[in-house]
Amino acid sequence: MTTRKSWQSIHDELRRRIVDGIWQPGDLIPAEEQLAAEFQCARATVNRALRGLADSGLLNRRRRVGSRVATEPSRYATLKIDIIRLEVEQRGAKYRHALTERAQVLAPERVQYRMNLNDDTELLYICNLHMADDRPIIYEERWLNPVVLHGIFDVDFSAISVNEWLVRNVMFTRGDISFCATNLTEREAQLFAADLGEAAFVIERTTWQDEQCITSVRLLHEPGFSMRTELI
């Protein structure tokens, strides 16, 4: 009967050795077999620990070669994409949204390109103002593809937000997201009761089901907004 070691404790110990510099960046660490012998456990348990370290970018692993401490440990920031309503309610504010625009139109060329569409597909164009305690926080501008979203033109988006309807009704297989900064236009400034030209944070998100684009959205945040997360 051998001592029972959890893969977590091995993970943590190996991580410590890397962080404390016992194993320097670039070093080849002992093979799974040897570590298993050291920790008195099965190789599979060491494997589980090493895989965790590789996932978080601390190790590079290659068959036949071994596990090497990453020379340039890549760090990742993981952002959780929530439904706006939940985000607002989680910080104890009252959520409300107002539909400001709704039209069946051809998308501008820039959007057609982003969504990989023909120039003859009419999209549902919807704009929404999201509010926390009646203060506008996000202006949402969205194009929806009726080819994928059957019956989308019949949905009453004053009752349920588009975001929420989508999350509940379709599942995307892939997506991309980009962040940038922009100067508020005259019209946008009015929405936020802000000044013309103020800097605002923008998220653009496009989601797909296999090769077909579902929707593309631009989320214009109120001036002063800051998005925070932990590094891993």
Partner DNA sequence: ATTATAATTATGTATAGACATAACAAATGT
Partner DNA sequence: ACATTTGTTATGTCTATACATAATTATAAT
Q: Does 178 bind its own copies (CB under 8 A)?
A: yes
Among 14, 18, 23, 32, binds DNA (CB under 7 A): 32
Residue 70 engages DNA in binding (rule: CB under 7 A): no
Q: Residue 216 contacts by C-beta under 8 Å, 6 or more apart in sequence?
A: 111, 114, 115, 142, 143, 204, 205, 206, 207
What minimum distance in Å lies between the beta carbon of 14 and its own copies?
A: 13
- Calculate Rg over the CA atoms of the chain: 24
Q: What is the DSSP letter of 26?
A: T
Q: Does 67 bind DNA (CB under 7 A)?
A: yes
Applying CB under 7 A, among 19, 26, 38, 40 the residue interacting with DNA is 40
Distance (Å) of CA 141 to CA 18, 63, 66, 68, 100: 46, 48, 49, 46, 10
96's contact among its own copies, DNA, none, with CB below 5 to 8 A by partner kind, is none
- CB closer to DNA, 66 vs 223: 66
How many residues lie near its own copies (CB under 8 A)? 51
Does 15 engage in binding with DNA (CB under 7 A)?
no
Q: Which of 12, 15, 56, 66 binds DNA (CB under 7 A)?
A: 66
Q: What does the per-residue mask of binding to its own copies show for 125-164, with x meaning CB under 8 A?
A: ----------------------------------------
- Could you tell me how far CA 182 lies from the centroid of its own chain? 20
**Which is closer to its own copies, CB of 58 or CB of 144?**
58
Instruction: Report if residue 71 touches DNA, rule: CB under 7 A.
Output: no
Cα dist from 13 to 36, 57, 154, 197, whole Å: 13, 16, 57, 52
- CA 46 – CA 22 distance, rounded (Å): 18
Residues with Cβ within 8 Å of 108's Cβ and at least 6 positions away in sequence, in order, are none
Q: Which of 12, 17, 27, 48 binds DNA (CB under 7 A)?
A: 48
50 binds DNA (CB under 7 A): yes
CB 205 within 8 A of CB 180: no
CA 92 to centroid of chain Cα atoms? 23
Decide: 199 and 183 in contact? Cβ < 8 Å. Answer: yes
Structure tokens at 22: 């016992």
The residue from 31, 83, 147, 160 that contacts its own copies (CB under 8 A) is 83
Binding site for its own copies (CB under 8 A): 18-19, 21, 25, 72-83, 86, 167-168, 171-183, 197-202, 205, 207, 209, 221, 223-231
